[in-house]
Structure 1
Amino acid sequence: MTATADAEAAANELTPLADYLGSVLRRLRALPPLDLDLTQAYGNVLAEDVVAPHSFPAFDQAAVDGYAARWEDIAGGGRGVGYVPAQAGSPGGRAVRLNVVGDLGAASWRPVRLTPGACFSVAAGAPLPIGADVVVPVEWTDQGMAAVEIHRAPKRGYGVRKAGEELPAGTPLARAGTYVSPALVAVLAATGIGHVVVRPSPRVVIVATGDELVEVGRGSQPGQVVDVNSHALTAAAAEVGALAYRVGICDDDPEGLRGLLEDQTLRADLIITTGGTGMGPGDMVRRILSRREGSRAGPVTFTEVALYPGTALGFGTVGPEEVPVVCLPGEPAAALIGFEVLARPAINLLAGAEPVFRPSVRAHLLETISSPAGLREFRPAHVAERRGGGYTVQPLRGGPLTLSGLAEANGLMVLGERVTTAAAGSTVDVLLLDRRR
C-alpha cells in the first residue's frame, strides 16, 4: 500500500465535517428572548419582527432653515407684498417680498396658519404652518426679519418633510434575526420604540488546560508553553458578539477540572475548553468529560473529524443545567480553526443570528498547492477583488499551522476532502474574515 493510499484509508475512518457540524448544531437552541431598553439592545439580535407604531416624520416639518410659505405666493403670480428687481433665474426676473409674521423653532408646538402674502421664519425640524407647502432656503433670500425678499423660487414641496413620508405607521422595520445596528437603533427610536425583544448575547467561558501552560508575559522554557489559546479564543468569542470570560489555565487535575467546569455552568451559556482532546496519556479533558458520572448530564462526545488542522473535537453538555461545551485542540492554530468551524457557528446559533456561518466567495487560486487526502483543509489566505469582477486568492506562507499566517489572513481557503492538489488558476471556496483592519 502506498503512503497516499494509507492516508486515504485512515481518512475514510473520520467523520465528514459537514455531518459533524450538522449533528452538533441540531442540538443547540437560541437563548430565551429578553426585553431590553433600546439603549442596551445594540449588538443583539431581534427575537421578533418589529413594526413602526408611529409615523416618521411624525408631523409635517421643515427640512431646511428658511421661510415657510405658500408656493403660489412666490411662483410669479401670487399675492406677495410686491415685486422688486431680482437675480437671474427668479420667476419673471423679479424677486417676491413677503411679510414675516413669526418665527418657528423645533420646539414650537402651537398650530399656526399661514395667510396669503405672509411667511414664517422656520428652523430645520420645526412644524410647518397650516397652509405652507414650500420652505425657501435662507441663502435664496435677503434674510429679512419683518419682510423678506425671495430671490429664487423653489419647486412646490421643496424643503418640506411630510408626516409619514419616510416610514408610515405600520411599516415593517426589521425581521426577527436582524442584528441591531446603530442605524437600526436610530430608526426604532424615531418611530417611538423604547424597548425591543432580543436574544441575549451568549455568555461564553474559555478554559485552557494543561500542566505545561504558563501565563503570558514571558517566553517559553523546556517543559513550558505560554497560554496562547485562552487569550486568542476569548478575543474570537468577543468578535462574534459574545460576552466572553477568560477563566485562565486549569492543570491536568481531574477534580480540579470537574470543579472548575461545575462552577462555570452557573454563569455560562457555552463553555469552550482547549487542549486535551487527543488520546494520549496526558489528554485529561477527553478522559474526564467523556465519562458519565452519577446523574450528571453528559457525556461529552469526542469525534475524529475530517478536518485539517486538528481532527479531534468534542461536544456535549456539562452540569445539571446541561450547559453546552465545545472542546478544541491545544495547538493554537488548530484551536483557532476549530473555533471558526465549530464554536463560532454555535455562538451565532445561541444568539439567534443568521446566517451562522461566515460569508464565502469563489476565487481564482494564484498558486498551485497540495492538501492532505481525505481532510477538509482551512488555509490562511489573502483574498482580493479583481478589477474586472470576481476574486483572487493567495495562500499565505507556512500553511494552516502558522499563527503569523492567521494574523495576516483576510480569508480562509477551503479545500475539500477529495482535493490533494489545487492548480493555479482553479477556483476554490474562501471564507471571508470580517476582522477590522
Structure 2
Amino acid sequence: MSSAAPRTTGQDQLWSVDEHLDDILATVRPLEPIELQLLDAQGCVLVEDVTVPVSLPPFDNSSMDGYAVRVADVAGASEEFPAALEVVGDVAAGQADLLHVGPGQAARIMTGAPLPPGAETVVPVEWTDGGLGEGLVTGMRARALSPDGAEGHVQVYRPAEARAHVRAKGSDVRAGDRALEAGTVLGPPQIALLAAIGRATVRVRPRPRVVVMSTGSELVQPGGELGSGQIYDSNSFALTAAAIDAGAIAYRVGAVADDAVTLRSTIEDQLVRADLMVTTGGVSVGAYDVVKEALSYVGDEDEPGSGIEFRKLAMQPGKPQGFGSIGPDHTPLLALPGNPVSSYVSFELFVRPAIRTLMGLDDVHRPTTTATLTTGKALTSPKGRRQFLRGTYADGAVTPVGGAGSHLVAALAHADALIVVPEDVESVEPGTEVEVVLLG
C-alpha cells in the first residue's frame, strides 16, 4: 500500500521517465504476507525459506516393474543359463508389511514400491519370463485374489548390479535441506515439490488485485454495434491481460462515460477489491479529460495524504501521466493516457513494476539488452524526449515495426520489444547499437 501521495509540483514541469518511476516505486509497498493453501498460492512469492521435513523419496523404492532379488543370485545369469528363483510374494506401492527376500528368492515389485528387506537390486520384468502372457501388475492383482496364494518361480536372463533400478532414500532431497528460498515465485514445479514434502499451506505475499478501467463516451464493448464516432474499447482488455501477465489478479471494469461524478463513484466502488487501480484515458488537457477532473484534488479531512498528481513526462508515447493514492487505505492509482500504444507502453514502464513491487519481488523490471538496429532508414526522435518504438528482436538484432503513432495497435500486436531512443538523441542510423526492452 502507499503511504502518501507524490510531491506536488507545478503543472508545467516536465518530468523524466526515471523520476516518475522512482516516485511510484518509493510509494508502493509490498503486500502483507498471508498463509495460503498450495493451489491458492500459485503465482505468489514465498516470504520464508522452506525446509524439507522428510527425505524424498522417504524410502528406497523400485524405479521399475520387476523382481527384487539378491545380487549373488543373478550373477552370471544369461539366456542360455538363466537364474531360477523362488517367488516369495508381491510388493506393491503403498504396502506397509514387507516380506523378506532370502538366498535363491525373489519378490515381484511394482514401480514405487519399497525395496523389501534382503533384496539388493531390481531386475526389470523384461529381463525375466515373469512378464510373458500377462502384465506384471495384472498378474499381481490376480494372485492377490487367488485362493491358494501360489507364487511359483521366475527365470532371470541377465545379471544386475547392486541397487540397479532402485531410487535411494533422499536421492531427491534430504530432511533438513532447503527446498525453496524466500523470494521464489510459486509455479507448478514448486507447488509439486511443496506437496511432495508434505506442505499443505505456505506463507506468501498474495497476488495483487488490480482493477482496470477505461474512460470515454466513444467506447463500445467488443461485440456491440458501433455508432457514428465510436470505437471499440481495447485498452481495458489489453491492460487487464497485461496485469495478469505481470502476476496480478485483474478485474476489468467496463468503459466509463465522460462524466466526472460517475467516474469518481465507480472508482470508489471498486476500491474494496483493489490493491492497485489503473485508469486509461482522460489525463490530457482536453475539455473532456474526466480523470483529471474527477481526481485532481488535495486529500480532504477523511482521506489525509491522498491525492492524484497529473504530470507531463519527457517521453513519447505517453507524455500525460497521473499517479497518487485514493481512498481510506491510500490505494495506489496510476492514470494512463488513452491512446492504445501510449497506454500499453506506460503500463510496461510504470504499472508492471508497481505490480511486481506489490508482489515483493526484487527484480521488478523487464529484461533489457543491446541490439543492432536493422532498418532501411534512420530513426528520428523528438529532442528532449525518451522515445519507445515497437520492434521485433532476434539474434542480437532489432527491427522497428509500424510507425511512431500512438494509435497503431496492429503494429503493437507484432512487437516483442521496445526500442529505446534516449532524450539527447534525435537520429539513429541503421547498424547502431540501441537499448531494447524485451516484452516476453
Deviation at residue 21 of structure 1 after TM alignment: 0.7
Give the unaligned 5+ runs of structure 1: 1-11, 77-82, 88-92, 386-390
**Per-residue CA shift, 1:201-251, capped at 9, x if unaligned?**
111111212233333335655543432212221222122222211121222
2:387 to 362, 377, 383: 377
Counterparts of 2:119 and 2:439 in 1: how far apart (Å)? 52
2:128 and 2:157 in contact (8 A); partners too: yes
Deviation at residue 373 of structure 1 after TM alignment: 2.1
Deviation at residue 399 of structure 1 after TM alignment: 3.1
Q: Structure 2 counterpart of 1:213, which letter?
A: L
Deviation at residue 427 of structure 1 after TM alignment: 1.7
Q: Structure 2 counterpart of 1:353, which letter?
A: L
**Per-residue CA shift, 1:395-431, capped at 9, x if unaligned?**
1122362111111112222222222222222222222
Deviation at residue 28 of structure 1 after TM alignment: 0.9
Report the CA distance shift for 1:397/1:253 in structure 2 as closer, same or farther (over 3 A). closer
Counterparts of 1:128 and 1:151 in 2: how far apart (Å)? 21
2:91 and 2:98 in contact (8 A); partners too: no
2:99 to 112, 120, 135: 112
Q: Does 1:357 align with 2:357?
A: no
Match of 2:323 in 1: 315
Counterparts of 1:143 and 1:362 in 2: how far apart (Å)? 62
Structure 2 length as normaliser, TM-score? 0.87
Counterparts of 1:373 and 1:68 in 2: how far apart (Å)? 77
Deviation at residue 354 of structure 1 after TM alignment: 4.1
Structure 1 length as normaliser, TM-score? 0.88
Match of 2:403 in 1: 398
Give the unaligned 5+ runs of structure 2: 1-11, 132-150
Q: Structure 2 counterpart of 1:42, which letter?
A: Q
Counterparts of 2:429 and 2:13 in 1: how far apart (Å)? 27
Match of 1:328 in 2: 336
Deviation at residue 72 of structure 1 after TM alignment: 2.6
1:98 and 1:147 in contact (8 A); partners too: yes
Q: Tell me whether 356-365 or 27-36 shows the greater mean CA deviation.
A: 356-365
Counterparts of 2:120 and 2:26 in 1: how far apart (Å)? 58
Match of 1:167 in 2: 173
Counterparts of 2:388 and 2:184 in 1: how far apart (Å)? 29
2:116 to 129, 136, 143: 129
**1:266 match: secondary structure:** helix
Report the CA distance shift for 1:245/1:379 in structure 2 as closer, same or farther (over 3 A). same
**1:300 match: secondary structure:** strand
Match of 1:80 in 2: none
* Count of matched residue pairs: 405
Match of 1:79 in 2: none
Match of 1:276 in 2: 282
**Per-residue CA shift, 1:142-168, capped at 9, x if unaligned?**
217622222112322210011111100
Aligned pairs (5 A) from 1:149-298: 149-218=155-224, 221-295=227-301, 296-297=303-304, 298=306
Counterparts of 1:131 and 1:432 in 2: how far apart (Å)? 58
**Per-residue CA shift, 1:52-73, capped at 9, x if unaligned?**
1111001111111111112232
**1:246 match: secondary structure:** strand
Counterparts of 1:370 and 1:338 in 2: how far apart (Å)? 21
Match of 1:6 in 2: none
Counterparts of 2:119 and 2:367 in 1: how far apart (Å)? 50
**2:273 match: secondary structure:** coil
Match of 1:411 in 2: 417
Deviation at residue 178 of structure 1 after TM alignment: 1.2
1:205 and 1:244 in contact (8 A); partners too: yes
Counterparts of 1:420 and 1:53 in 2: how far apart (Å)? 60
1:51 and 1:172 in contact (8 A); partners too: yes
1:228 and 1:332 in contact (8 A); partners too: yes
1:203 and 1:243 in contact (8 A); partners too: yes
Aligned pairs (5 A) from 1:5-84: 14-76=14-76
Counterparts of 2:373 and 2:310 in 1: how far apart (Å)? 34
Which of the pair has the greater relative contact order for Cα pairs under 8 Å at 6+ separation? 2
